[in-house]
Amino acid sequence: MSEADIALILAQPFFAQIDTQAFPAQMPLADILSHDSRIVRYEPGEVIIRRGDYGNSLFAVVEGTVRVLLQSPRGLQRRAPGQWRRWSRAFASTFGSRRRVENRDLARYQIQTGGTPRAAYTRIRDLDRIVAETQTVPLGQGEIFGEIAALTRQARSADVVAETPVTAVEIRWQGIRDIRRFARPVRDQLNDRYRDRTLANTLAREPLFAGLDAKVIEAIASESLIETYGEEDWYLRLQKLDLAGRLEQEPVIVAEGHQLDDVLFILSGFGRVTETVERGQRTIGYVRAGEAHGLRELLEDLQSGGIGLRRTSLRAIGTVNVLRIPSTLVEHHILPTLAPGQLRPQQKSRAGEDSQRRLDFIVDGRYMNGTATMVIDLARCTGCDDCVRACASAHDNNPRFVRHGHSEANLMIANACMHCVDPVCLIGCPTGAIRRIEETRTVAINDAACIGCQTCANSCPYSNIRMVEIRDTAGKPVLDADTNQPIIKATKCDLCFDTPGGPSCERACPHDALIRMDMQDPFSLLKWIER
């Protein structure tokens, strides 16, 4: 970025309020901006952010007007298919030709996309009509948007479209993180916006707060602290993680032995729960977005007549956003509404050597991210490949997973999409082709919208997305009209969301060796593997 660009950014109201002196000499604000921001321009009708996308950046309007669309227009949405589609897919996959591999009906692409996929999914042609008929909010020069998804990596909550020619500053979350660290007013401003606009709604959707009325949730939101720990995304160093020093690399959020005066609710990211064993730390569990740390300890203390000290520590795996809720609020409002099953037992009570190693394996490999992780019990798997064949049969005769992966003793995590809590593969898809379908919580790829850019495949930290060359219905490779190169599409496990019986792999396994499991609760996994 040129100096003129930096000057332009610094002149924007959001950045102008920042005290540049507050930044250390080795990390001046101008450097942060030059590394983590860029000037972007949009034509009228161009989609800047899409509802459901996992963006990791904030935008500030420099020039022009954008429209926030509070109802998503058709075409930008992705829904689970109805029953009829599911059954017709099942018939097609069962009775279709086994020789057709990755064949696509090109005529249907034309109908679905009305031309090139990129144009169809990144531009809205009748914005004027949408603005006239639905609820929208205009944002003009100096306004910011997208900060909440960037900070907490939740799905974007609305579509934002350029209404006029727009010039904007886009700043990546790493830049926002650094600015928040040194510029307190910015941190407070962003936290306040998050608290005012989103936090209460976010909490209301979480099971932990399900029994509370809106006023209590608002009170909890306003009296709790929003904090961020850790400086790096959990997935960036996954491949080269130094396991020996891993605990030292993870900042402590709350420490064992300290007063238990608050409960930590995880807004985004993952935390490792540890306890001291002699002079070392042992992993005894983990928490992920939507879960709380300290709840059980608090309940046990209250039952035994007084709040004491923490028995476990919580460490940040990557960057973690937490809500620090005072114990008194938890005691008076949350605990009385919880069902007994909502409190997870401590790992400690079960941990044998094998369970301990498996738990470390899950946390170190970041497999706790999965909501439908493919777990294979190697003590039962014969390698018959019925699961692979079933998957291929349900997906264009090309399996969507590899029956291979990292393993710890007889526990194998196969290379199949885990439908992550934090699906980082979604970040940066230019057409929004890869989305999370809210009804099913499945991460799926809209084949018609995929332009084969490989962004998702490069982003998935578990290497669970594969690019395939597609063929037409006659079996001929489909070539790009401009480059004459084969057209490729991203493919991955979609949990058979469009077939009637659910994941074919799990249902096919004749040896009860394969399961799709939500890794929220390590006990279920350990129980299954030790059954």
Partner 1 sequence: MNSVLTRRRMIGLSAAAVLIAVLFYGARLGPAALANSREITGWVLAGVSVFLLLFNVRKRIPAFPVGRGYYWLQLHIYLGLFSGAAFLAHSEWRLPTGVLDWCLWLVFAGVFVTGVFGIVLSRLVPSRLNARGERVIYERIPAFRTQLAGEVEALVLRAVQEAASSTIAELYVNRLLPFLSHSRNFWAHMLSASDHRQALQNEIHAVRRYLPAEGNAILDEIEARVLAKDDLDYQYTWQSLVKGWLLLHLPLSCAMIPLVVVHVVINYAFGLGGM
Q: Can you give the binding site for partner 1, defined by CB under 8 A?
A: 89-90, 93-94, 378-386, 389-391, 393-394, 402-404, 407, 410, 412, 496, 499-502, 504, 506-513, 531
The binder of 500, among ligand SF4, partner 1, none, by C-beta within 5 to 8 A per type, is partner 1
Give min distance, CB of 464 to partner 1, in A: 16
Give min distance, CB of 447 to ligand SF4, in A: 15
3-state secondary structure 33-60: HHHHEEEEEECCCEEEECCCCCCCEEEE
Give min distance, CB of 264 to ligand SF4, in A: 24
Q: Which residue from 381, 451, 470, 519 is in contact with ligand SF4, where contact means CB under 6 A?
A: 381
CB 484 within 8 A of CB 449: no
Tell me, residue by residue from 401 to 440, as one string, x for binding to ligand SF4 by CB under 6 A and - for no binding.
Answer: --x-------------xxxx--xxx---------------
| Region label for 475, one of left (φ > 0), alpha (ψ between -120 and 50) or beta (otherwise) | left
- Piece of the chain touching ligand SF4 by CB under 6 A; list 51-59, 172-180, 185-193, 380-388: 380-388
Q: Which residue from 212, 363, 443, 495 is in contact with ligand SF4, where contact means CB under 6 A?
A: 443
Q: Which residue from 48, 60, 284, 387 is in contact with ligand SF4, where contact means CB under 6 A?
A: 387
> Which residues in the 324-363 window bind ligand SF4 by CB under 6 A?
none
Instruction: Give me the helices (H) in 195-294, please.
Output: 200-204, 214-223, 246-249
287 or 456: whose CB is closer to ligand SF4?
456
- Indicate whether 386 belongs to the interface with ligand SF4 (CB under 6 A): yes
60 or 381: whose CB is closer to ligand SF4?
381
Give min distance, CB of 370 to partner 1, in A: 21
Distance CA 143, CA 151 (A): 17
- Indicate whether 458 belongs to the interface with ligand SF4 (CB under 6 A): no
Interface size with ligand SF4, residues (CB under 6 A): 27
- Piece of the chain touching ligand SF4 by CB under 6 A; list 63-71, 285-293, 318-326, 461-469: 461-469
Distance CA 160, CA 355 (A): 47
Distance CA 349, CA 352 (A): 9
Give min distance, CB of 469 to ligand SF4, in A: 19
How many other CB atoms sit within 10 Å of the CB of residue 55? 25
126 or 512: whose CB is closer to ligand SF4?
512
Distance CA 273, CA 258 (A): 14
Distance CA 73, CA 253 (A): 41
Q: Write the DSSP string, 165-199.
A: -EEEEEEEHHHHHHHHHH-HHHHHHHHHHHIIIII
- Piece of the chain touching ligand SF4 by CB under 6 A; list 104-112, 158-166, 200-208, 383-391: 383-391
405 or 461: whose CB is closer to partner 1?
405
Give min distance, CB of 365 to partner 1, in A: 16
Q: 255: closest CA among 193, 310, 189, 173? A: 310
CB 118 within 8 A of CB 41: no
Distance CA 490, CA 400 (A): 10
The binder of 330, among ligand SF4, partner 1, none, by C-beta within 5 to 8 A per type, is none
288 or 333: whose CB is closer to ligand SF4?
288
93 or 122: whose CB is closer to partner 1?
93
Distance CA 282, CA 276 (A): 6
CB 417 within 8 A of CB 123: no
H helix and E strand count, the chain: 20, 22
Side-chain-side CA neighbours of 465 within 13 Å: the count stands at 26
- Indicate whether 513 belongs to the interface with ligand SF4 (CB under 6 A): yes
Distance CA 507, CA 504 (A): 5
Q: Which residue from 200, 460, 517, 526 is in contact with ligand SF4, where contact means CB under 6 A?
A: 460
Q: How far apart are the first and last CA of the chain?
A: 58
177 or 419: whose CB is closer to ligand SF4?
419
The binder of 123, among partner 1, ligand SF4, none, by C-beta within 5 to 8 A per type, is none
> Which residues in the 465-484 window bind ligand SF4 by CB under 6 A?
465
- Structure tokens, 143: 């306004």
Give min distance, CB of 227 to ligand SF4, in A: 26
How many other CB atoms sit within 10 Å of the CB of residue 13? 11
264 or 374: whose CB is closer to ligand SF4?
374
Amino acid present at 390: A
Q: Which residues bind ligand SF4 (CB under 6 A)?
A: 376, 381-387, 403, 417-420, 423-425, 443, 460, 462, 464-465, 492, 508-509, 511, 513-514
